[in-house]
Structure 1
Amino acid sequence: MRRTVSVGALALAAALLTPAAVAPAGAATVPPPSATPTPTVTSTPAPTQSRPPAQDPLAFTVTRTFSYGPRARQRMDVWWQPDGVRRPAVFVLHGGWWSGGDKKYMTAVTKSYAELGYTVFNLNYRLSSDAAWPAQRSDTLAAIALARKHADYFSFDPNRYVIVGFSAGGHIATSVGTYKDGVPGLRGVVGISPVVSPLTAYSDGDQGADFDQRKLRQSAIALAGGCLPTGRCARVWSSMEVPWHASAHDAPVLSVHSEEEFVPAYQSELLKEQLAQVGVPMDIRVVPGFYHSSPLYREPGVAQGVQEWIAGKLGTPTPATPATPGRSRSVASEPPSPREVAWREPAAH
């Protein structure tokens, strides 16, 4: 695997500009959940009866899908416990070359964080066939803005959340983490095989590259609206290049790669170098093998390591409790309205 960025990729840097501003959109409906029935207890258990099973960690969790914008892909599945307790949150972004994938493939990951007690937002976003960059970053920022606005309803602490992104979703996550001079409330970003440098992917996917590297190059071109990183497209490629946007108030980053995957760790090393210059910590972990994205996350110890890193940034969530009859809950009176309109980020080119 090549460890140096090609001269062609580095030469592009001098010509490129920086991205534009941002803006999101608004979102969905659903009545509060009904209470969970109280389990019955046998008064005289047999002497050989085993200990009753532990409480289901999702016993008081509600799962609903909300809109955060008018487009079909602007949807998020929210897992939360409507007991009025402000919990830290995890936002999950699927991968898929920016051109495919779906939040449904992140259900197991989402469930694992809900079981730990976090409020979880599992996002879909517009694909490159629907809209060019920075639409994907705009969508993520829109979903975050809506979630923070309705933090009471979602039992969510708007000042304690992280983003976990896989592959192309890792690119979106790290681009949110380096957006402007820090995003309010964001405590950390995790990238699993994140494509933090589309310019490097473009260079690595040139002649002589393997199938996945060539596909990633073409996917980056599609994300940029179908044009190469020169001329009129220089600005959008600059906006896509995460390391170029490091600033002092960005969130800390954890990046995980395998040794032989087609999105190599040296992409993350480029980001770590830039973050270090502004005093933001970044941890890169490299796992033996060639697995990429979700298969890498399922490798022994990877998910646990990520969860421990997140706990270090957010703290331990409060366990769920059933709602007490007659007790008022600190929950917003209305769910997010489908007619709400937040900001939208303008195109970068």
Structure 2
Amino acid sequence: MSLIDWFANLFVKEAKHYVYAPVTSEVEKIVFQEGQHYFRLRLAEMFLKDDRKLFRKVVPVVSSLVSLQFGSIAAQALPNVAGPLALNLSESSLGKGVQLNYSLTNLVPYRGGTVSVSAALMSYVSKDYFPAFLSLANNVAGLLTIGQLSATLKVVDSAVGALQDLLDSDDKDIRLVYHNEYAGSDNLGGVSLTSGYFAVIAADAGKFNPAKLFVKNSQLCFGDDLASSQPLTGYDYMLFSVEAALYRDDFRYFTEYNSLLYTAIEKGMTDKAEGDAVIRAGMLAVFKSDDLTYVDKTRVAAALKAEYEERLSLQGQLKGLSGTDGDWLSDRVLAIDPHGVWQQIEPLVADKLDDAVLSGRILGMIAQGKIT
């Protein structure tokens, strides 16, 4: 049985008419646009109403599965598992302290289509082997939440296998399940994917007022207003956050881009033509990337070219400054405005050009200095 089937069967067997509600917070509500935004799902908080009493005997776990389009893969399934034992806490520490904001996906370009989210809050009986097994499952799945997703997809099968072993265990109590699919837009009869928080609460929907829910410091609170609200207790619940981002700030650490940039600089210091050829190859690699949005591909390509040119023009001034010269240059690269870049390339994207034509035209605009 696949993970998707497992969640589907679980939902049929276990789902009740519980509370699902978007939650008021200070997060700006953004409707995701294909090619413009990145998507990331976090488990902001999970709570078992009897957690302190049970933690010495059971372990809380949230298992999730997010399905979305990634590159040419129409429905890439990204599994994950979150829980206190991911932090390598001892049994005596469970139920103490605050554990917030587990990343359930990487920062993934939103390609449109259907995004589905499934999650289950469970409590597992703690046995001698279980902490090590859960930690291993989390570590494997956690590889999908860092760096370049395209470079880490090879662990998906291992993550699926580890999670299926975990989910097939009989030593669990299913507390709460959730599934939702986002596609299209609300005003056309679809379900828009938007940024912000939402909560799933094991409470009778007819007796619970979701208008009194608020988020403060990534925690679910209940009260008459934000200022007076207090952390919600007495219910099992999961609080999720959906992040929308216009650009990635870690692209310089993508192995391929970083390698090509510094190869271009090295060659360009002795032969500008050779360096220019390498940096053009780096820019083309950016436009072929599945890890970046249309908008960010343009910004990253322009940023790599800008750093290459600045490094060469300042090579004389930077002699002897090894180890200190990079910081302010990096800041300038990251400061390239994604909103401004989007305004410059929006007419091209609106024409629905294929990737090859679009990349060629954008590279031409960068070479002519029309995109900065």
TM, length-normalised to structure 1 = 0.26
The higher-RCO structure (CA 8 Å, 6+ apart) is 1
Greater gyration radius? 2
Where is the strand percentage greater, Structure 1 or Structure 2?
2
Where is the helix percentage greater, Structure 1 or Structure 2?
2
TM, length-normalised to structure 2 = 0.25
